[in-house]
């Protein structure tokens, strides 16, 4: 049987509340939106670079999202001493080394990174700071950055999906 990316429900979040009540569910919705855009596609379709000459594919975006989840939440904020995924920051391996045979495992890797990222910062204040390129950065700003990261790439994903099979509005 040929694997297809599973259906995903994009969760709603509150419309009022403090930073934690708004930012965590909003990031979660953006996370699920990426996989919702991928839902129903085969591994081969996910790995297709649908807009020449771009090297982007939905599979590459999934790998990139897993990489940045690990970097920002687990390595930078939580200080975990763990290996980088796909070469780490600045390395294009997440987009370049695409193999349809690994699509299912890498979608699951992204889901695991969400869980591990959330756990790594669950008890930390949004005011906690770490040094980023010599400047202080807060966990609050990491959430804002990650929402922007997903929103930008979800726009790319929408275009890739439409080019692959004409589906829009996921």
89 belongs to a structural domain:
yes
pLDDT of residue 1: 61
Whether residue 109 lies inside any domain: the answer is yes
The CATH number covering residue 94 comes to 1.20.120.450
> pLDDT tens digits for the chain (170 residues)?
699 999 999 999 999 999 999 999 999 999 999 999 999 999 999 999 988 899 999 999 999 999 999 999 999 999 999 999 998 888 999 999 899 999 999 999 999 999 999 999 999 999 999 999 999 999 999 999 999 999 999 999 999 999 999 998 88
State the DSSP string of the chain. Answer: ---BPPP-PPPP--SSS-HHHHHHHHHHHHHHHHHHHHTT-BHHHHT---STT----HHHHHHHHHHHHIIIIIIIIS----PPSTTSTT-THHHHS--GGGHHHHHHHHHHHHHHHHHHHTTS-TT-EEEETTEEEEHHHHHHHHHHHHHHHHHHHHHHHHHHH-----
Residue 2 within a domain: no
In a domain, 86, yes or no: yes
pTM summary value: 0.96
Residue 7 within any structural domain of the chain: no
Residue 170 is predicted with a pLDDT of 82
According to the model, what pLDDT value does residue 109 have?
A: 98
The reply to whether 97 falls in a domain is: yes
The answer to whether position 49 is within a domain reads yes
Q: Number of folded domains in the chain?
A: 1
What range does the domain containing 116 cover?
Answer: 24-165
pLDDT confidence of residue 169: 83
């Amino acid at each position: 049987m040929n694997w297809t990316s599973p259906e995903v429900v994009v969760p709603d979040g509150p419309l009022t509340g403090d930073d934690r009540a708004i930012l965590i569910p909003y990031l979660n919705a953006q996370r699920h939106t990426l996989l919702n855009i991928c839902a129903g596609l085969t591994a081969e379709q996910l790995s297709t670079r649908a807009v020449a000459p771009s090297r982007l594919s939905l599979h590459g975006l999934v790998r990139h999202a897993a990489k940045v989840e690990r970097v920002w939440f687990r390595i930078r904020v939580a200080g975990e001493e763990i290996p980088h995924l796909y070469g780490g920051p600045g390395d294009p391996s997440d987009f370049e080394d695409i193999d349809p045979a690994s699509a299912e495992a890498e979608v699951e890797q992204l889901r695991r990174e969400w869980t591990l990222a959330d756990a790594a910062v669950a008890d930390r204040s949004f005011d906690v700071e770490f040094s980023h390129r010599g400047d202080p950065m807060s966990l609050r700003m990491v959430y804002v950055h990650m929402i922007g990261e997903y929103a930008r790439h979800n726009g790319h994903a929408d275009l890739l999906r439409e080019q692959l099979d004409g589906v829009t509005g996921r």
